[in-house]
Amino acid sequence: MKKTAILYGSTTGNTKSIAKLINQCLDNQAEVKDVDDLTASDIESYECLILGTSTWGLGDLQDDWDSFITELDNADLEGKTIALFGLGDAASYPDTFVDGMGTIYKAIVDKGCQIVGAVSADGYSFDASSAVINNSLVGLAIDEDNESNKTEERVRKWVDLILAGLN
């Protein structure tokens, strides 16, 4: 597997737990890192990045990511393979479900990287999301608040989907 880092921002620990689960599905071959501890130059040595965030309130980016997004904007992502995952609460915030993932997508989409891991929105119940492009989510969406029983299967299927881009 190419040199891969899973970068997350986590307030309650859910996003960190999903990052660790993704790494377990990758046979612990990636480095799992909190974005609160990183700079743009720290991530440039990786060939592949898996970026994860939660969404807060009415579509707000998680606090650590809110601070790190400028670092990401300054990073050279040319030629890198990037996958995204986002956590949200589709029942309480159906109009902004996983918008944090959409915010990160918008920050990287024009930076010369290959974004992998889009997921069909079928099987999710929400009204709107900035993470939906052409009827697909730009990455893996997780709803630990309402559908935690689906998390492990969703993660495993998604990791199988992105694995080709990481090798």
Q: For residue 162, what pLDDT band results from cuts at 50, 70 and 90?
A: very high
3-42 pLDDT, tens digit each: 999 999 999 999 999 999 999 999 999 999 999 999 989 9
In this prediction, residue 157 carries a pLDDT of: 96
Question: From 3.40.50.360, 3.40.50.2300, 3.40.50.970, 3.30.43.10, which CATH number describes the 4-166 domain?
Answer: 3.40.50.360
Q: Is the pLDDT of residue 56 over 90?
A: yes
First to last CA, the chain: 4
Residue 165 has pLDDT above 90, yes or no: no
- pLDDT at residue 167 in the model: 82
Domain boundaries, the chain: 4-166
Type of residue at 125: S
Read off the amino acid at residue 155.
Answer: V
* Cα 116 versus chain centre, distance: 11
Compute the distance between CA of residue 97 and CA of residue 92 in angstroms, rounded to an integer: 9
∠ CA 157-162-166, rounded to 5°: 140
Give the pLDDT of residue 164: 86
What are the φ and ψ backbone dihedral angles of 156, each rounded to 5 degrees?
-60, -45
Sign of CA dihedral 126, 131, 134, 137: negative
| pLDDT the model gives residue 166 | 85
- For residues 74-100, give the mean pLDDT: 97
Q: pLDDT tens digit string along 62-82?
A: 999 998 999 898 999 999 999
In sequence order, what DSSP letters do the residues of 7-56 get, joined into one string? EE--SSSHHHHHHHHHHHHTTT-SEEEEGGG--HHHHTT-SEEEEEEEEE
Output the pLDDT for position 30. 97
